[in-house]
Amino acid sequence: MKAIGRSVPKKESFDKVTGVAMYTADKVEARMLHARLALSPYAHARILSVDTSEAKQVQGVKTILTGDVSDVLIGEEIRDRPIIAREKVRYYGEVVAVAVADTEAAAKRAAELIRVEYEPLPVVNSPVDALRQDAPILHDKLGEYENEGRAVPVPGTNIASVNRLRKGDIDKGWKESEMIAENTVWFMPSDHAAMETRSATAEIRPDGYVVIDTSSQVPFTVKKYMANYFGIGSGWIVVQTPLVGGAFGGKSAIFLEPIVYLASKAVGGRKVKIVLTREEDMASAPVRIGLHATVKLGSTLDGYIKAAHITYRFDGGAYNDKSSDVAKAAVIDCSGPYGIPNLACDCFTLYTNHGFAAAFRGYGHSELTFAMERAIDALADKLGMDPWELRFRNAAVPGDTAPTRDLLTPSNLGDIKTCLNRLKILSEWEGWQVRQIDAYRIRAKGISCFWKNSSMDTDASSGAIILFNPDGSINLETGVVEIGTGTKTVLAQILAERMRMSPERIHVKLTVDTRTTPEHWKTVASRGTLLAGRAVLKAADDAIRQLLDIAACVLRADPEDLVLENEKVFVRADPSVNIEVREICYGYVYPNGNAIGGQIIGRGHYIQRRMNPLNPVTGEGTPGPEWNVGAQAVEIEMDTRDCSYRLMKAISVNDAGKVLNPEGARGQVMGAMAMGLSFANREGFDYNEQGMVLNPTLRDFSVLRYDENPSYIVEFIETPCLDAPYGARALGEHGMIGMPAALADALSRAAGVRLNQLPLYPETVWRARMGYSHVFL
Amino acid sequence: MRIELLLNGEKHLVEVQPPELLLDVLRETFGLTGAKPGCRNGDCGTCTVTVNGWPMKSCLMLAAEASGQAVVTVEGLGDADIQQAFVDKFAFQCGYCTPGFIMNIHALSSKHPQADEATIRDWLQSNICRCTGYEEIRQAVVSVLEGKVKGM
């Protein structure tokens, strides 16, 4: 009865195919009030006045909130963001007022009638602009903001954080180098575009409990920060999260919760609900970070890279939120999966008049990988070397050190060379790389290679509780949010394997309620399986010990002589002496009515071992548990007349450590590949010169649809991570990381010109071929 | 205004406002929240239902327009092959787009039981799935169409 390695369908499968699966906004209550937002039409402006008199006349309006309602500044790294804009707006779509009414229609009408007078200010429209001497300064009080200590801002500038990393001796590295290649890449901020837009409700009960329902990846973080921001005892805050309709990092930021809490407070604690429209979800809520980066590489003539200098200028948007931390994650793994002995990385997280950046699937890694892999391809060109061979020669191996100076081991580093070898075969790399199909059409392949550690708080932890039912089945509760990754099902498999029972006999609590659910730090970083998985194993061991103890009494045997298998406890040497779990999991009743024991409750927790924060000057530290690796390829067919192209084939070879649920794992990687291709092919905000977002809808901000996908090939190799349940490495984000670089490589080969700008619209390719300079605001 | 809806096989007389969307009446009046408001602009397909057997984005139809017509939501499907096929093929992750896809494909399989690749492509372009690469959805569609062909 193997539970691990089986494609167990998601526990919530039938809920999801019958429409009964509930998401945050699906809850409708008669007495609920509704909130709608009034948003800034300017990317940068002084607020001169806000007139709510007309809005208040709308039938059914309860209250209008403006920036005056709270002077609390919020932010996870730097507290730089007002909940509702005060004095200034700093991005197009920033919240300037909130209308609360009986119905959503009345709230919408009122929000439209709020009159705000602005004095427009010059805008910072790119990270390069942000660094100019004469750039308008977004935050003149940057030096006064509260800071958690991880971001290093430079007051008087638009620099929200500077992170540096130094390893080895960079001067020596340049001296040893016989060939230098330098390459610059850039792309604008873009959107997560989860199918469920963000939503939240808040209620302040008469006894003081603050109850928040939210579509979030981080209910426990919401609880923590609501307590911090508003001075509420954390025990008085209850955060509930049902199923989440896609997140991709975008729902790991705190955004609607403080707004809707203030709204509820303003109407005497009544329950207030807010559901973002798609346009608000794209323009107003947190976005994906933008980047302008330069990578300089030095190598010997036979392709051994001796030195790398990486400069990142991240577009963090108007407020820092997690952008300096995303940037830090890109610093941690800046070399890519290569053993480069001498490294320097300078990273600037910049304030611009764009929407503020939150995490995005990959957390800085498809960003850093695009920068590094395009430079590797540039170096391969200069050396006249096969780009696969250049990657293979430099691939990091156990015994090398990471940029953070951690020693790489077979456990904490996946097997890059085997991934590359498999990729070579699957992509038929040696057969051809560019091929003319007919007079106009060219096919070409591109490759990339990636790694990713996670960048979590050093004390990130997770817990699990298991409760037996009278029929011997188990209820499993963890704090992982089910955002679509199937982690809760995988956790049931991990539990079933340890309990030696069928995963179908494990019942999973799908929702999270922070009052009763054990804390799971955040459902991010592809770490549900590691953190919660280890907690589940500990809970299982706790329950097994209790089961064996009570069975020992009943069977009159030493607990050490007993084994658990198939919902029975046996004497190892004499299986005829046994008892069913269901007879002891609620206590055992002797024939005379005497009873012992009680309901078996197993508990477990896990916290990462020996993590520490990075030194901001040298980048030294231990940021995460393991580097997950992979190699990827993309094949395209381009029409040379207009540079339009089709995605033909995409390949990913990932080191999964151990595949726990094959179909689930395949789906995670394939979906991530599609997301990476969609991003590289067409996703990005279109800002005009005033910093307004011109495409905040799914019509203008298009994502890949059914017939636009390539055929996908996904293969796993298994090099176990010794810390992880059954050796399983992180998986959820990794399929997307190398896709933009591989696509750009393939297209560059077809177009005969180096492409370094995303998205790769046919027009972008055409402009590069025509020799027009790239447009970069 | 009062309209008559034949909703999931049952006749309902219901009071609606003239500008109300079918989507909102389904969700708020009837609690049929399987239809999701992914964009309210006809771009994403998460709100797809069937009207007289044809797929319809319920955000693009006024409730008043649906008067007298047969509307089926995912909750009214009962036990359609495509639902089981979605489970078997792992054709969803977060599940938010799933009811819309299922309604679209259910209509496809009844209108075009022998649909070819081009027809499938044409129909399925109207819905967005952000989690999968659509490969598992394609497999689910094919398995349903092939199952039907075999049964005939």
A697 and A763 in a single domain? The answer is yes
The CA distance from A533 to A766, in Å, is 49
State the pLDDT at residue A773.
Answer: 58
pLDDT tens digit sequence for B57-75: 999 999 999 999 999 999 9
A673 and A756 in a single domain? The answer is yes
Q: What average pLDDT does the segment B17-25 reach?
A: 96
The CA distance from A469 to A486, in Å, is 23
User: Cα-flanking dihedrals φ and ψ of residue A582, to 5°?
Assistant: -65, -20
Nearest chain B CA: its distance from A27 CA (Å): 9
Question: Which residue on chain B is closest to A674 by alpha carbon?
Answer: B133
pLDDT tens digit sequence for A107-117: 999 999 999 99
Judged by CB atoms closer than 8 Å, whether chains meet at B136 and A667 is answered as yes
State the pLDDT at residue B150.
Answer: 43
State the pLDDT at residue B148.
Answer: 55
SS3 A311: strand
The CA distance from A680 to A738, in Å, is 10
Which of chain A's residues have a Cβ under 8 Å away from the Cβ of B124? Answer: 705-707
- The number of domains in chain A is 3
Domain assignment present for residue A726? The answer is yes
The CA distance from A708 to B102, in Å, is 20
Which of chain A's residues have a Cβ under 8 Å away from the Cβ of B37? Answer: 25, 197, 275
Q: Which domain holds residue B90?
A: 81-151
Judged by CB atoms closer than 8 Å, whether chains meet at A244 and B94 is answered as yes
Domain assignment present for residue A147? The answer is no
Q: Residue A540 corresponds to which tokens in the numbers above?
A: 């299982």
Please check whether residue A377 is in contact with residue A385, taking contact to mean a CB–CB distance below 8 angstroms: no
How many interface pairs between A and B have CB atoms less than 8 angstroms apart? 159
Domain assignment present for residue A600? The answer is yes
pLDDT tens digit sequence for B130-144: 999 999 999 999 999
Question: Which residue on chain A is closest to B39 by alpha carbon?
Answer: A278
Please check whether residue A444 is in contact with residue A431, taking contact to mean a CB–CB distance below 8 angstroms: no
Whether A18 shows a pLDDT value over 60: the answer reads: yes
B90 and B115 in a single domain? The answer is yes
- The CA-based angle A236-A242-A247, given to 5 degrees, is 110
Q: For B92, which of A16, A248, A673 is closest by C-beta distance?
A: A16
Q: For B33, which of A26, A485, A705 is closest by C-beta distance?
A: A26
Q: Residue B58 corresponds to which tokens in the numbers above?
A: 């319920």
What is the domain-level CATH number for residue A220? 3.90.1170.50
The CA distance from A563 to A704, in Å, is 52
Judged by CB atoms closer than 8 Å, whether chains meet at B33 and A248 is answered as no
Which of chain B's residues have a Cβ under 8 Å away from the Cβ of A198? Answer: none
Judged by CB atoms closer than 8 Å, whether chains meet at A195 and B36 is answered as yes
Q: Residue A129 corresponds to which tokens in the numbers above?
A: 């602009």
Nearest chain B CA: its distance from A686 CA (Å): 18
Nearest chain B CA: its distance from A314 CA (Å): 25
B88 and B140 in a single domain? The answer is yes
Q: How many helices (H) and strands (E) does chain A have?
A: 19, 32
Residues 6+ apart with CB under 8 A from A15: A21, A243, A510, B95
Judged by CB atoms closer than 8 Å, whether chains meet at A671 and B131 is answered as yes
At which residue do the structure tokens 């020596």 appear? Answer: A172
Q: Where does A429-527 have alpha helices with state H?
A: 487-499
Q: How many CA atoms lie within 13 A of B57 on its CB side?
A: 19
Q: Which of A48-57, A450-459, A578-587 has the lowest mean pLDDT?
A: A450-459
Question: Which residue on chain A is closest to B49 by alpha carbon?
Answer: A19
Which of chain B's residues have a Cβ under 8 Å away from the Cβ of A190? Answer: none
At which residue do the structure tokens 């340049």 appear? Answer: A174
B91 and B131 in a single domain? The answer is yes
Among candidate residues B15, B42, B74, the one where a domain is terminated: B74
Among candidate residues B36, B56, B74, the one where a domain is terminated: B74
Among candidate residues A607, A637, A664, the one where a domain is terminated: A607
Q: Residue A770 corresponds to which tokens in the numbers above?
A: 């025509």
- Cα A718 from chain centroid (whole Å): 23
The CA distance from B139 to A711, in Å, is 12
Please check whether residue A365 is in contact with residue A330, taking contact to mean a CB–CB distance below 8 angstroms: yes
Q: Residue A497 corresponds to which tokens in the numbers above?
A: 């394997």
SS3 A256: helix
Which of chain B's residues have a Cβ under 8 Å away from the Cβ of A15? Answer: 95
Q: What average pLDDT does the segment A519-530 reach?
A: 93
Count of residues making up chain B: 152
A260 and A216 in a single domain? The answer is yes
Question: Which residue on chain A is closest to B133 by alpha carbon?
Answer: A671
Question: Which residue on chain A is closest to B30 by alpha carbon?
Answer: A28
The CA distance from A513 to A241, in Å, is 7
A496 and A566 in a single domain? The answer is yes
SS3 A544: helix
Which of chain B's residues have a Cβ under 8 Å away from the Cβ of A699? Answer: 41, 43
pLDDT tens digit sequence for A638-660: 999 999 999 999 999 999 999 99
State the pLDDT at residue B65.
Answer: 97
Residues 6+ apart with CB under 8 A from A231: none
Q: Residue A604 corresponds to which tokens in the numbers above?
A: 């477990």
Nearest chain B CA: its distance from A404 CA (Å): 33
* CA nearest to A148, candidates A207, A75, A89: A75
The CA distance from A138 to A130, in Å, is 9
- Transcribe A176-216 into DSSP letters: H-SEEEEEEEEE--B----SSPPEEEEEE-TTS-EEEEE--
Question: Which residue on chain B is closest to A483 by alpha carbon?
Answer: B94
Please check whether residue B57 is in contact with residue B47, taking contact to mean a CB–CB distance below 8 angstroms: yes
ipTM for this model: 0.97
The CA distance from A278 to A194, in Å, is 10
Please check whether residue A336 is in contact with residue A403, taking contact to mean a CB–CB distance below 8 angstroms: no
- Would residue A710 be called left, alpha or beta, if left means φ above 0 and alpha means ψ between -120 and 50 degrees? beta
Q: Which domain holds residue A493?
A: 460-607
Give the DSSP H or E segment for A170: helix A170-176
B86 and B140 in a single domain? The answer is yes
- 10 Å CB burial of residue A549 (0-12, 13-18, 19+) is middle
Amino acid at A82: P
Whether A776 shows a pLDDT value over 80: the answer reads: no
Among candidate residues B48, B74, B100, the one where a domain is terminated: B74
Which of chain B's residues have a Cβ under 8 Å away from the Cβ of A20? Answer: 34, 75
pLDDT tens digit sequence for A140-180: 999 999 999 899 999 999 999 999 999 999 999 999 999 99
What CA–CA distances, in Å, run from A702 to A681, A708, A747, B95, B135? 10, 12, 20, 20, 19
What is the domain-level CATH number for residue A753? 3.30.365.10
pLDDT tens digit sequence for A484-522: 999 999 999 999 999 999 999 999 999 999 999 999 999
State the pLDDT at residue B152.
Answer: 34
Bridge partners of residue A344, in order along the sequence: A166, A309
The CA distance from A478 to A288, in Å, is 28
B94 and B36 in a single domain? The answer is no
B28 and B51 in a single domain? The answer is yes
SS (HEC) of chain B: CEEEEEECCEEEEEECCCCCEHHHHHHHHCCCCCCCCCCCCCCCCCCEEEECCEEEECCCCEHHHHCCCEEECHHHCCCCHHHHHHHHCCCCCCCCCHHHHHHHHHHHHHHCCCCCHHHHHHHHCCCCCCCCCCHHHHHHHHHHHHHHHHHC
A650 and A760 in a single domain? The answer is yes
B64 and B116 in a single domain? The answer is no
Sheet containing B70-72: which strands, arranged edge to edge?
B10-15, B2-7, B70-72, B48-51, B54-57
Whether A700 shows a pLDDT value over 60: the answer reads: yes
The CA distance from A6 to A487, in Å, is 14
pLDDT tens digit sequence for A187-199: 999 999 999 999 9
Which of chain A's residues have a Cβ under 8 Å away from the Cβ of B132? Answer: 667, 670-671, 674
Domain assignment present for residue A21? The answer is no
Domain assignment present for residue A435? The answer is yes
A536 and A482 in a single domain? The answer is yes
User: Cα-flanking dihedrals φ and ψ of residue B25, to 5°?
Assistant: -65, -40
Which of chain A's residues have a Cβ under 8 Å away from the Cβ of B138? Answer: 706
Question: Which residue on chain B is closest to A30 by alpha carbon?
Answer: B28
Please check whether residue A608 is in contact with residue A545, taking contact to mean a CB–CB distance below 8 angstroms: no
The CA distance from A140 to A158, in Å, is 9
Domain assignment present for residue A186? The answer is no
Judged by CB atoms closer than 8 Å, whether chains meet at A706 and B92 is answered as no
A331 and A351 in a single domain? The answer is yes
B37 and B59 in a single domain? The answer is yes
A217 and A342 in a single domain? The answer is no
Nearest chain B CA: its distance from A33 CA (Å): 14
Q: How many Cβ atoms sit within 10 Å of the Cβ of residue A279?
A: 18
Which of chain B's residues have a Cβ under 8 Å away from the Cβ of A706? Answer: 121, 124-125, 127, 134, 137-138
Q: For A707, which of B87, B96, B125 is closest by C-beta distance?
A: B125
Q: Residue A542 corresponds to which tokens in the numbers above?
A: 């706790």
Indicate which of A15, A16, A678 best probes the interface with B, i.e. most B CBs within 10 Å of its own CB.
A16
A326 and A279 in a single domain? The answer is no
The CA distance from A63 to A101, in Å, is 7
Indicate which of B90, B104, B138, B139 best probes the interface with A, i.e. most A CBs within 10 Å of its own CB.
B90
A564 and A640 in a single domain? The answer is no
What is the DSSP secondary structure assignment for residue A244, as one 8-state letter?
-
Indicate which of B130, B136, B141, B142 best probes the interface with A, i.e. most A CBs within 10 Å of its own CB.
B130
State the pLDDT at residue B149.
Answer: 44
What CA–CA distances, in Å, run from A630 to A147, A317, A423, A694, B150? 36, 30, 9, 36, 41
Please check whether residue A341 is in contact with residue A101, taking contact to mean a CB–CB distance below 8 angstroms: no
- The number of domains in chain B is 2
Judged by CB atoms closer than 8 Å, whether chains meet at A667 and B95 is answered as no
Q: What average pLDDT does the segment A56-72 reach?
A: 98
What is the domain-level CATH number for residue B118? 1.10.150.120
A37 and A105 in a single domain? The answer is yes
A318 and A260 in a single domain? The answer is no
Residues 6+ apart with CB under 8 A from A438: none
pLDDT tens digit sequence for A249-281: 999 999 999 999 999 999 999 999 999 999 999
Q: What average pLDDT does the segment A53-71 reach?
A: 98
Q: For A699, which of B41, B97, B102 is closest by C-beta distance?
A: B41
Q: For A195, which of B27, B32, B128 is closest by C-beta distance?
A: B128
Nearest chain A CA: its distance from B136 CA (Å): 8
State the pLDDT at residue A777.
Answer: 35
B43 and B103 in a single domain? The answer is no
Judged by CB atoms closer than 8 Å, whether chains meet at B27 and A26 is answered as yes
B41 and B65 in a single domain? The answer is yes
The CA distance from A12 to B79, in Å, is 16
B86 and B64 in a single domain? The answer is no
* CA nearest to A452, candidates A398, A421, A484, A413: A413
B48 and B87 in a single domain? The answer is no
